[in-house]
Chain A
Amino acid sequence: MSAVTAPADQASWRDRLAERPFVALFGVFAVLYLVTGIRDHGLFTENGLRAVLLLTCPLAIFGAAETLCMLTGGISLSVTMTANLAAYVAASKSHLGTVPAIGLALAVGVAVGLVNGLGIGVFKVNPLIMTLGMSSVLLGITTVGLVGNGFLAGTTQILPVVTRISTGTLVGPIPSNAVVLAVIAVLLIWGLGRTGIGRLIYAIGDNTTASRLAGVKLWQVVIAVYIGTELLAAVAGLLYSGISGGVAPDQTNSYLLTAIAAAVLGGTSIFGGQGGYAGTILGALSLTVLDRLLTSLNTSDAVRQVVYGLVVLLLAWLYARVTGRRLLS
């Protein structure tokens, strides 16, 4: 008697989900949104949706920065410091005019990214250590600049265009900074998926040795990636300064770990070679909604933080289990 075997085309729902992690992510986000909306009806209104999108944008852009370097198997712990410094530069040099001020802020991002890229790509320093050291250096530079007659001293004025984009509304529930996010998203998703350098980024993250042997100039790709990372961080810093209305040497620091969490929850492997920005956006949205859910529960800051950490852990665990992804290489 022949054994009955399952037909090959009836892949289990789990296998199908593993191939499309985006669906799992979207499911998580939808559930979170509904649950939060039940507790906080404001979420279903236009204003509520707008608030969520407004707060998600800086996080999503930080997430983009982390996604980019995580895809090469690295990480960047200096993004928030770059953001703070860029925001400071733009605000204190705003008297030079909009374009020069923003240009200087973005130049900060490029400079930091260049140094990081050189250290990681050319001198082969571990990304964790390089960016860790860099964040110390940046904090020092910011503090020195603020002292007495340093280069950052003097009145700071958030550029009006920054304020308008960060806090304005485009139409209905869509805030203006969603435009910035949309542009970045299109660039990243198209760039990672369809350009040569995008493929190279995935390649060196997936298998550095093979890439090197295949002739990829690793240091060039790494420098480009880290410049991109810190540039995005600078943009995020500018946006945040618009939302918060001011600048401070540590104002975006809470975003560091959340951005990494968003990228990881979005399916980007911390070892590189896997993932993408679409997932990170969903991850950022989910975490923002989660934060709102916890706020609506009217618990203390402490409880919120504990639950936040546990939920991130649970989501990462679930994600690994459901998609069957071996996150451990």
Chain B
Amino acid sequence: MTTAPPRPALVPKPTSRWARLRRRHGWLIVTAGFLLVLFFWRFSQLPKFGGFELRTITAGAMVVAFLGMGQAIVIISGGIDLALGAAMVFANCLSALWMKGQHTGMCFLLAIAVIAIGAAIGTIVGTTIVLSRVPDIVVTLAYLFVLSGAALLILNQPGGGTAQGFRSAVAGGLSQPLPSILWTVGVLSVLWMPLKRSTLGVKLYAIGGNRAAAYLAGVDVSRVRVVAYTLGGMFAGMAGVINTAYTGSGDPRSSIGLAATLSSIAAAVLGGVALTGGVGGLVGPVLAAVVLGLIPAIMLGEGVDPNLAQVVQGCVIIVVVMIGTWLAVKRRAT
């Protein structure tokens, strides 16, 4: 009996390091590149680029960055939180009310308390979603109303205050970009990096990527979902406290809450977090928040009508997501 000549073994080519890098961090690299381009554009516009200019960029983007981080966690876990902006407003008003007239040390303690309350709010929202089995969009929509109203109950008009020392420590004095940068990087490294590598982090990605598979693999889906919303609420609390430090007051207007929520979703999506869940990280949203903040500044610098900034921002969001979706479809097709 004749044997056929041996067929060459079909061994898949190992993916190159470049391909792996591109797959895991591609979006982040592009976002960072985009940010650098915008940064240098802004740099070239200003006659003098010192601490003041840098601080305006970093501190101004801090609130959206933190909200984007919170929203990113919720979206990664497969949900969405439309009430996050309202929670930020609530935290802003509560901290401004309590911190008024207090000294810096007390302000920090109060900040921790408000952040804890933000986390508790997140737990309530998450528990409602899990227990009622009503879709998260509807539940968080309802809580948007509740939290906006609650903020108004605390502060029925813009007011409140905080210690100057607290303001400088968190948002930096007018020419100090370092505090805002340090806080953001600090939270990312201390809170997110360990979390991402922990079991809980894996579970967050799992329930977002394929909830049924995660459940079958033994993940307590309900509990992890609640934890995701709790973390989102905690970041919203942080964003609120940062807002108090940045503006020095509390503003209960509900329009701010809705706009903040929408910005957080935009920052998350632009930062590479897919709305379907299970994809992305927290560094992207932070970079995206800075990008979103730079666009109006650059346009103002170019002498373009700043109102067009809205148009440009909207278009950027749409175009970026379009490209991202096209890339994802292309990747799946190969």
Contacts and interface: CB of A to CB of B under 8 A. Distances in A.
A320 B139 CA distance: 12
B150 interface: yes
B266 A327 contact: no
A313 B83 CA distance: 13
A125 interface: yes
Contact of B149 (A144, A304, A317, A328): A304
Contact of A264 (B138, B147, B311): B138
Interface stretch (B18-26, B169-177, B197-205, B315-323): B315-323
A143 B307 contact: yes
Contact of B269 (A129, A147, A257, A307): A129
Size band of the A side of the interface?
A: 35 or more
Contact of A124 (B133, B152, B311, B329): B329
Interface stretch (A96-104, A132-140, A217-225, A228-236): A132-140
Interface in B195-251: none
B315 A133 contact: yes
Contacts of B135: 264, 269-271, 327-328
B128 A140 contact: no
B184 to A, nearest CB: 24
Given A133-B313, A133-B321, 11 more contacts: A123-B326, A129-B266, A132-B262, A132-B266, A133-B315, A143-B307, A269-B135, A305-B146, A313-B143, A316-B132, A317-B134
A184 B199 CA distance: 52
Interface of B: 80, 128, 132-135, 137-139, 141-153, 156, 254-255, 258, 262, 265-266, 269, 275, 305, 307-318, 321-322, 325-326, 329
Contacts of B321: 125-126, 129-130, 133
A34 interface: no
A223 to B, nearest CB: 16
A41 interface: no
A310 B142 contact: yes
A123 B313 contact: no
Interface stretch (A14-22, A86-94, A160-168, A295-303): A295-303
Contacts of B329: 124
Contacts of A124: 325-326, 329
21 contacts: A119-B322, A123-B322, A124-B325, A125-B318, A129-B269, A134-B314, A136-B313, A139-B310, A140-B308, A140-B313, A144-B307, A253-B258, A302-B152, A304-B149, A306-B149, A309-B145, A309-B149, A312-B138, A313-B128, A317-B134, A327-B135
B314 A312 contact: no
B75 to A, nearest CB: 10
Contacts of B312: 140
Contacts of A326: 133
Given A125-B325, A326-B133, A306 B305 contact: no
Contact of B317 (A75, A129, A253, A320): A129
Given A132-B262, A136-B311, A302-B149, A309 B142 contact: yes
B149 A136 contact: no
Given A129-B317, A320-B133, A137 B142 contact: no
Given A124-B329, A257-B144, A302-B156, A133 B318 contact: yes
A141 interface: yes
A257 B145 contact: yes
Contact of A320 (B132, B143, B255, B307): B132
Contacts of A261: 138, 141-142
A255 interface: no
Interface string A309-325: 11011001100100000
- CB-based closest 3 A-B pairs: A305-B149, A309-B145, A136-B314
A320 B134 contact: yes
